[in-house]
Structure 1
Amino acid sequence: MPELDGTFVEVETIVPDETGVEAGLDVVRSVLDSLDITSDDLTTEKYTDAVAARRS
Protein backbone atom coordinates (compact mmCIF):
# COMPACT_ATOMS: atom_id res chain seq x y z
CA MET A 1 0.00 0.00 0.00
CA PRO A 2 1.85 3.09 -1.16
CA GLU A 3 -0.11 5.36 1.20
CA LEU A 4 1.09 3.51 4.30
CA ASP A 5 4.53 3.64 5.84
CA GLY A 6 6.10 0.49 7.20
CA THR A 7 5.84 -3.20 6.61
CA PHE A 8 2.70 -5.18 7.28
CA VAL A 9 2.03 -8.88 7.67
CA GLU A 10 -1.16 -10.82 8.29
CA VAL A 11 -1.02 -14.12 10.11
CA GLU A 12 -4.04 -16.38 9.85
CA THR A 13 -4.91 -19.93 10.71
CA ILE A 14 -7.93 -22.15 10.21
CA VAL A 15 -9.65 -23.83 13.12
CA PRO A 16 -12.29 -26.55 12.83
CA ASP A 17 -14.82 -24.75 15.04
CA GLU A 18 -15.07 -22.45 18.05
CA THR A 19 -13.39 -25.01 20.30
CA GLY A 20 -10.17 -24.58 18.30
CA VAL A 21 -9.93 -20.80 18.59
CA GLU A 22 -7.59 -20.74 21.59
CA ALA A 23 -5.25 -23.29 20.01
CA GLY A 24 -5.34 -21.30 16.77
CA LEU A 25 -4.46 -18.12 18.61
CA ASP A 26 -1.55 -19.93 20.25
CA VAL A 27 -0.26 -20.83 16.78
CA VAL A 28 -0.61 -17.25 15.55
CA ARG A 29 1.14 -15.91 18.66
CA SER A 30 3.95 -18.41 18.15
CA VAL A 31 4.48 -17.26 14.56
CA LEU A 32 4.45 -13.60 15.62
CA ASP A 33 6.94 -14.38 18.37
CA SER A 34 9.25 -16.14 15.90
CA LEU A 35 9.18 -12.96 13.78
CA ASP A 36 9.98 -10.80 16.84
CA ILE A 37 6.63 -9.06 16.52
CA THR A 38 5.36 -7.83 19.88
CA SER A 39 1.91 -6.73 21.00
CA ASP A 40 3.10 -3.13 20.59
CA ASP A 41 3.47 -3.80 16.86
CA LEU A 42 -0.10 -5.05 16.41
CA THR A 43 -3.10 -3.15 15.11
CA THR A 44 -6.73 -3.97 14.48
CA GLU A 45 -7.07 -1.11 12.00
CA LYS A 46 -8.25 -2.20 8.56
CA TYR A 47 -6.02 -1.42 5.59
CA THR A 48 -8.88 0.33 3.84
CA ASP A 49 -9.49 2.60 6.84
CA ALA A 50 -5.79 3.46 7.14
CA VAL A 51 -5.56 4.31 3.43
CA ALA A 52 -8.77 6.38 3.56
CA ALA A 53 -7.42 8.33 6.54
CA ARG A 54 -4.16 9.06 4.67
CA ARG A 55 -6.04 10.21 1.57
CA SER A 56 -8.26 12.67 3.42
Structure 2
Amino acid sequence: MVTVPELEGTFIEVETLVEEADLSEGPAAVRGVLAELNISEDAFTTEQYTDAVIAHRSA
Protein backbone atom coordinates (compact mmCIF):
# COMPACT_ATOMS: atom_id res chain seq x y z
CA MET A 1 0.00 0.00 0.00
CA VAL A 2 1.34 3.41 -0.91
CA THR A 3 0.37 7.04 -0.96
CA VAL A 4 1.96 9.41 -3.42
CA PRO A 5 2.01 13.01 -2.17
CA GLU A 6 1.11 14.44 -5.57
CA LEU A 7 -1.77 12.03 -6.22
CA GLU A 8 -5.13 11.74 -4.55
CA GLY A 9 -5.93 8.46 -2.85
CA THR A 10 -4.13 5.41 -1.60
CA PHE A 11 -2.81 2.74 -3.92
CA ILE A 12 -2.29 -0.97 -3.42
CA GLU A 13 -0.33 -3.31 -5.63
CA VAL A 14 -1.24 -6.98 -5.69
CA GLU A 15 0.98 -9.47 -7.45
CA THR A 16 0.92 -13.21 -7.78
CA LEU A 17 3.33 -15.86 -8.90
CA VAL A 18 2.05 -18.58 -11.23
CA GLU A 19 3.62 -21.26 -13.34
CA GLU A 20 3.99 -20.33 -17.01
CA ALA A 21 1.47 -23.01 -17.97
CA ASP A 22 -1.09 -21.39 -15.64
CA LEU A 23 -0.74 -17.74 -16.70
CA SER A 24 -4.48 -17.37 -17.14
CA GLU A 25 -4.96 -18.05 -13.41
CA GLY A 26 -2.96 -14.99 -12.31
CA PRO A 27 -5.53 -12.26 -12.98
CA ALA A 28 -8.29 -14.30 -11.33
CA ALA A 29 -6.16 -14.79 -8.22
CA VAL A 30 -5.42 -11.05 -8.00
CA ARG A 31 -9.07 -10.14 -8.53
CA GLY A 32 -10.02 -12.60 -5.80
CA VAL A 33 -7.71 -10.94 -3.28
CA LEU A 34 -9.00 -7.49 -4.21
CA ALA A 35 -12.60 -8.70 -3.89
CA GLU A 36 -11.81 -9.98 -0.38
CA LEU A 37 -10.55 -6.47 0.41
CA ASN A 38 -13.81 -5.01 -0.96
CA ILE A 39 -11.98 -3.21 -3.75
CA SER A 40 -14.20 -3.05 -6.83
CA GLU A 41 -12.89 -3.43 -10.36
CA ASP A 42 -13.81 0.17 -11.19
CA ALA A 43 -10.96 1.17 -8.86
CA PHE A 44 -8.38 -0.86 -10.83
CA THR A 45 -5.73 0.84 -12.91
CA THR A 46 -2.67 -0.27 -14.81
CA GLU A 47 -1.22 3.26 -14.81
CA GLN A 48 2.23 3.52 -13.26
CA TYR A 49 2.80 5.99 -10.42
CA THR A 50 5.49 7.79 -12.36
CA ASP A 51 3.16 8.35 -15.32
CA ALA A 52 0.39 9.60 -13.02
CA VAL A 53 2.78 12.06 -11.34
CA ILE A 54 4.04 13.31 -14.72
CA ALA A 55 0.44 13.84 -15.88
CA HIS A 56 -0.40 15.64 -12.62
CA ARG A 57 2.61 17.95 -12.98
CA SER A 58 1.70 18.69 -16.60
CA ALA A 59 -1.88 19.72 -15.71
TM-score, with length taken from structure 1:
0.85
SS at match of 1:26: helix
Which structure 2 residue ranges, 5 or more long, are not aligned?
Answer: none
Higher relative contact order (CA 8 A, sep 6+): 1
Identity %: 55
Tell me how far 1:34 sits from its aligned partner: 0.4
TM-score, with length taken from structure 2:
0.82
Paired positions, count: 55
SS at match of 1:45: coil
| CA RMSD, 1 decimal | 1.0
Larger strand percent: 2
Which segments of structure 1 move beyond 4 Å, counting only runs of 4 or more? Answer: none
Which structure 1 residue ranges, 5 or more long, are not aligned?
Answer: none
